[in-house]
Structure 1
Amino acid sequence: MNDLFKALSDPSRRRIIQLLKNGDLSAGEIAEHFDMAKPSISHHLNLLKQANLVTSEKQGQSVIYSLNTTTLQDALTFFFDLMNKEDK
């Protein structure tokens, strides 16, 4: 869960997640939405992968990134469970 919080703590990584909620994108397509170097985008994508928030698949010479909604759902369940315990 620590990797998840670390990944979500950065506004650029949250923006990448927002982009991916609309569909799969290549690293280059993601980079078009940012004013930063491609190695920086790769770093952010790697942290998101470590947190299991995104998955990647090599297609030809491109790497396609997808949002892993299961991890987000698990995090929401964790928070809802915490809230329900406080209500009791």
Structure 2
Amino acid sequence: MRSLVFKALADPTRRSILDRLREGDLSAGEIAEAYEIGKASISHHLNLLKHAGLVRCRRQGQQQIYTLHTTVFQEALQWLLAFSK
């Protein structure tokens, strides 16, 4: 699972999406509007973030709403901090 987290965090677009989600939940459409890349590319990025456990997705009507999942960040940070001892 950690390898998926680090793979997801390696991409600047995905990190930017995560930064946007720190401010609150967003629909896939709202996320896509902020970027000059196609919706299919945004969907790919969101799917990777979801599989890494960094975001959660719920359906609200016809929209997919994305939420930051901070537990995975905390676990990754604890794992990294273990190397500083």
Q: What range is the shorter-chain TM-score in?
A: over 0.9
Partner of 1:65: 66
> TM-score, structure 2 length as denominator?
0.97
The structure with the largest alpha-carbon Rg is 1
**After the TM superposition, which parts of structure 1 deviate over 3 Å for at least 4 consecutive aligned residues?**
none
1:14 lines up with 2:15 in the alignment: yes
Superposition pairs of residues 1-80 of structure 1, within 5 angstroms = 1-80=2-81
How many angstroms apart in 2 are the aligned matches of 1:82 and 1:68? 24
How many angstroms apart in 1 are the aligned matches of 2:53 and 2:19? 15
Q: How many corresponding residue pairs?
A: 84
3-state SS of 1:63 partner: strand
Letter in 2 for 1:6: K
The structural deviation recorded for 1:5 is: 0.8
> TM-score, structure 1 length as denominator?
0.93
How many angstroms apart in 1 are the aligned matches of 2:7 and 2:81? 20
Q: Which consecutive unaligned segments of at least 5 residues does structure 2 have?
A: none
Q: CA RMSD in A?
A: 0.5
